[in-house]
Structure 1
Amino acid sequence: MADEQHCEDEHGHDDDHGGGGGGGNTDFLDLEISKVLYSEAEGVTREAFRELLKDAAKRQWQARFGDQIDALAKLAVDELLADVTTNLEIEAKIAARQAAREGVDAKVSALLGGDSGSDADGE
């Protein structure tokens, strides 16, 4: 009995690298496509079940603690919005100060006569 090696490619296809030849241009063949399709169906089914469990859990949380959840969410959002507002105000003050500082630098340069000419006149 020949020892055959099987390798699965990125699409879940089994490539037979051992026994009898399939010839060229046969990469598209998947002689076990029914197994691949069923495996995909199982995965989707499990995912759908998880989604149903998640929806049911949400309904239970909402039924039992809906008012508290809403109040907690409101508090968290209000606090975050207060932080964002404060940060935006601080950023605006920093930007205004940087703009004012640029004006001071230009005034200093004008007062001192710029970069050229002061050493040449003095010596």
Structure 2
Amino acid sequence: MSHDHQGDEQHCGEAHRASEASGGGPNTDFLDLEISQVLYAEAEGVTREAFRELLKEAAKRQWQARWGERIEALAKLAVDELLEDMAANLEIEARIAARNAARGAVQDRASQLIQGTPESPEPGEDTSGDGQG
């Protein structure tokens, strides 16, 4: 299997230019080949992809066999730290939201004062106007 992916791209590019030079439009280079060649080229590509997948799976198994406990511990540490960061961020977001709500109430009150809207009574204040609290 001495055929490489770059060679495929180069061949396809050359075939594409030759196709256009001979009057064919873009993406018609496959028409210059016999269907058996097109299908075989596709099979070669799929075969290389499958081989890469098998290598990846084998590498995963080897990592797991040799460093499995360390990998698990490292993953646990990373997840735990991320969860701690998320919890801290959620707390900060809640404090900011509470502060924004309080700021909104102050802004509403300031607008009322500027517009001359009467103050709302404090709890326990006499609002009857008869002086009896």
The answer to whether the superposition gives a TM-score over 0.5 is yes
1:67 is aligned, of 66, 69, 73, to 69
Distance 1:18 1:93, change over 3 A: same
**How many percent identity over aligned positions?**
63
- Partner SS, residue 112 of structure 1: helix
CA–CA distance in structure 2, aligned partners of residues 16 and 112 of structure 1? 77
The alignment's C-alpha RMSD in Å is 2.5
Name 2:4's counterpart in structure 1. none
CA apart distance, 1:31: 5.3
If asked which structure has higher relative contact order (CA below 8 Å, sep 6+), I would say: 1
> How many residues are treated as equivalent by the alignment?
98
Structure 2 residue 61 is matched with structure 1 residue 53: no
Name 1:96's counterpart in structure 2. 98
Name 1:117's counterpart in structure 2. none
- Partner SS, residue 8 of structure 1: helix
CA apart distance, 1:7: 5.1
Any gaps of 5 or more consecutive residues in structure 1?
A: 1-5, 115-123
Q: TM-score, normalised by structure 2?
A: 0.64
Any gaps of 5 or more consecutive residues in structure 2?
A: 1-13, 117-133
Q: TM-score, normalised by structure 1?
A: 0.69
- Name the one with the larger helix percent: 2
- Name the one with the larger strand percent: 1
